[in-house]
Amino acid sequence: MKLAHDHPAPADAAARKGLAPVICYPVEGLARPDLAPYRAAREGWRKLSEVVVPAREARCFAVAAGQFFRITSIEGPQVGDLNLWAAGDLRERFYSGKTRALHGTHLSAGDGMWSSFPTLRRMALITEDTLDWYGFDDFGGAVHDVIGTRCDPYTHNLLSGGGQYHHCCHSNLTRALADWTGLPLREAEGHVHDVLNVFMCTGFTRDTGQYFMKASPVRPGDYIEFFAEIDLLGGLSACPGGDCSAEHSSDAAACHPLLVEVFAPVAPPVGWVSPGVNGYDRTHGRP
């Protein structure tokens, strides 16, 4: 936290601080997809499956390349922690940090969810977000962040002086992945990764740069929709924080289930091609 100022500012401090920021990754380098063909592909689509993720639990679900999935708020305000893996290889998984570098701190329609190295490709494209009206509020908060991690029992243990809580999103996702794959719990745990915080409203405080959350604006009926660019395995946890209006890692908050639905279009979006793995040759400068 940048609270202490032990060193005096140099004479040119104002000039140094006044330099205009430069966007790290120019958006021109990453063509923003035209959502019209994706949205048109919903016409006549067929619902293949659904799973209700119980409060303070997680569930996995499969989505084939070319299909859509939706996460919908039901019953009450609730945030969800989303993991994505390539269906055939759990080593390829959602890369929250790189997605943040490419798209900013919070995602909405038109943004991708990118995979880890060495594949680095768009695993999913967000095609609809009923909370896009929220934008950024006066505190700098916004919805669907890629700045948080996932609530976990280790941090809880650290901060609570030894507490044992088993329904943090990290544990929920670990159990769900173990159940889906048949992997031992501890092996499954190693595949759980930083999430897209679905419906969560977060930001950084302007004075101290601290990660904050506030009550999610989500209401039953709100949804976020994704297009699967490759065969996916998803994991979604209905966070024990509920709407995340207060501290959590306990069963104190009001929690609600979340609905995941998978849809198959009649035909893929016009012009869509499933992305191949990243084109870097991986020689790292050595022959």
196 three-class SS = strand
**Contact region with Zn ion (CB under 5 A), list: 46-54, 133-141, 238-246, 255-263:** 238-246
E-assigned strands of 42-185?
46-53, 58-63, 68-73, 80-86, 89-93, 112-114, 122-129, 142-145
What span, in angstroms and rounded, lies between the C-alpha atoms of 214 and 12?
38
CA distance to 66, 228, 230, per residue, from 273 (Å): 9, 11, 10
The footprint of Zn ion on residues 159-178 (CB under 5 A) is: 169
What span, in angstroms and rounded, lies between the C-alpha atoms of 96 and 83?
10
Closest among 75, 84, 28, 33 to 53, alpha carbons compared: 75
Considering the complex, what minimum distance in angstroms separates the CB of residue 223 from Zn ion?
19
- Half-sphere exposure (Cβ direction) of 133: Cα atoms closer than 13 Å: 6
Residue among 120 and 195 whose Cβ is closer to Zn ion: 195
Residue among 84 and 239 whose Cβ is closer to Zn ion: 239
**Contact region with Zn ion (CB under 5 A), list: 68-76, 101-109, 207-215, 234-242:** 234-242
Considering the complex, what minimum distance in angstroms separates the CB of residue 204 from Zn ion?
18
Residue among 254 and 270 whose Cβ is closer to Zn ion: 254
Task: Concatenate the DSSP letters of all residues of 197-254 into one string.
Answer: EEEEEEEE-TTT--EEEE-----TT-EEEEEESS-EEEEEEE-TTTTTSS--SSS-S-
Considering the complex, what minimum distance in angstroms separates the CB of residue 156 from Zn ion?
10
Closest among 243, 196, 263 to 75, alpha carbons compared: 243
Handedness of CA 243, 245, 251, 254 (dihedral sign): negative
Considering the complex, what minimum distance in angstroms separates the CB of residue 240 from Zn ion?
6
Considering the complex, what minimum distance in angstroms separates the CB of residue 256 from Zn ion?
13
Residue among 107 and 239 whose Cβ is closer to Zn ion: 239
Residue among 66 and 153 whose Cβ is closer to Zn ion: 153
Residue among 76 and 275 whose Cβ is closer to Zn ion: 76
What span, in angstroms and rounded, lies between the C-alpha atoms of 195 and 99?
11
**Contact region with Zn ion (CB under 5 A), list: 64-72, 197-205, 206-214, 237-245:** 237-245
Q: Is residue 151 part of the contact set for Zn ion (CB under 5 A)?
A: yes
Residue among 66 and 241 whose Cβ is closer to Zn ion: 241
Identity of the amino acid at 243: D
**Contact region with Zn ion (CB under 5 A), list: 14-22, 25-33, 146-154, 253-261:** 146-154
Considering the complex, what minimum distance in angstroms separates the CB of residue 80 from Zn ion?
8
Considering the complex, what minimum distance in angstroms separates the CB of residue 202 from Zn ion?
12
Which residues contact Zn ion by CB under 5 A?
151, 169, 239
